[in-house]
Structure 1
């Protein structure tokens, strides 16, 4: 498999975690968003949406991390990133969606670039914007995890799931936008347990070859 990604991209980060948790090897092909590489014709030919990541599986190119990770779960079911019970799977998917649907989309690069160039937002305004939606999402995540997380060390129980693959990159992003994470001790504990695993440590932005 060939993974077209960018070290600091939250969506790329979550896919790296999922691939690592499943023990799937992949070749990384850096798409440098800082150099607008995603806007070049050669990458548009790979992903018409011009977003990372894109996963080349040989006979197809997969885009959009929710779809890619669901495909991985079906194609490589062990170890599972979703619990066995239908209701439990719904709870885990809901936690992932708090990040993937409600926090990340309004804080991703193209939104922030529009705020900078069309509305003259400076760094302080960008951080305040991102912090607003991160805080609302993390408040909800902690409440949902408390209600439905089945205890344990991770977002759901004692094994990492889809939810953790979404959560950890969003915590990384929150630090970049100078969000005070002291407000969410439960999430901090979950992150600590995740980062004890090689799958998460090796997926971290700083560990990627294009991070230099």
Structure 2
């Protein structure tokens, strides 16, 4: 069985949980308490040198890191349902939208960045929250501008890789109090997604380490 090292509120772990669920791949979850610093334990760092989550441990003991790479691997070993379209242009569109979340929003809003801004640069708690809101809103605006009208999800009537990135980021947007008024299209996608068992089971509040 696959083993997913995860933190309940980690949006990157959330993405991978949805992918595993959509593809019907059985896995067990091992919580990694990021707030307590468990990701810096030497035995964990040996598997994930970036000291983050998720880490996917394969049955043969090999480890994979980085959510997009893990989801690409899962798409290769369990191609149905596919997370990327076959058409080259559509595939690139989906990857571009996914990367708005994964490379533009997430890296400057994760725990270690905001913690360093507070401890090394004097950012207050309120300023930290405003930092989060600003960059999330700017990224969501860009994401929404990339989307066609019509599909139930971002680019199709089924969830694709970018939707697996979007829904966890929307969880963070709600958590940090982002004004969601401009993002009706994204909220519609979120509503559609959370009706699906694969997304619902992956919600942070449904994880074994939720508190």
Deviates more, 1:11-20 or 1:116-125: 116-125
Q: Secondary structure at the match of 1:28?
A: strand
Q: 5+ unaligned residues in a row in structure 1: which ranges?
A: none
Structure 1 residue 107 corresponds to structure 2 residue 115: no
Structure 1 residue 45 corresponds to structure 2 residue 46: yes
Deviation of 1:26 (Å): 0.4
Listed one character per residue, the Cα deviations across residues 22-60 of structure 1 (whole Å, up to 9, x for unaligned) are 111100000011211001112112212211100001231
After superposition, residues 1-212 of structure 1 pair within 5 angstroms as 1-59=2-60, 60-146=62-148, 151-212=150-211
Deviation of 1:123 (Å): 2.0
Q: Secondary structure at the match of 1:101?
A: helix
For residues 71 and 41 of structure 1, the distance between their equivalents in structure 2, rounded to whole angstroms, comes to 26
Listed one character per residue, the Cα deviations across residues 118-171 of structure 1 (whole Å, up to 9, x for unaligned) are 11212211111111111111111111013xx6x211011100100110000000
For residues 177 and 118 of structure 1, the distance between their equivalents in structure 2, rounded to whole angstroms, comes to 22
Q: Secondary structure at the match of 1:55?
A: strand
TM-score by length of 1: 0.96
For residues 162 and 125 of structure 2, the distance between their equivalents in structure 1, rounded to whole angstroms, comes to 29
For residues 39 and 184 of structure 1, the distance between their equivalents in structure 2, rounded to whole angstroms, comes to 36
Instruction: Considering fraction of residues, name the structure with more helix.
Output: 1
Deviation of 1:99 (Å): 0.1
Q: Secondary structure at the match of 1:182?
A: coil
Aligned residue pairs, count: 209
Deviates more, 1:162-171 or 1:45-54: 45-54
For residues 49 and 95 of structure 1, the distance between their equivalents in structure 2, rounded to whole angstroms, comes to 24
Please list every run of at least 4 consecutive aligned residues from structure 1 whose deviation after the TM superposition is greater than 6 angstroms: none
For residues 198 and 159 of structure 1, the distance between their equivalents in structure 2, rounded to whole angstroms, comes to 13
For residues 85 and 186 of structure 2, the distance between their equivalents in structure 1, rounded to whole angstroms, comes to 20
Q: 5+ unaligned residues in a row in structure 2: which ranges?
A: none
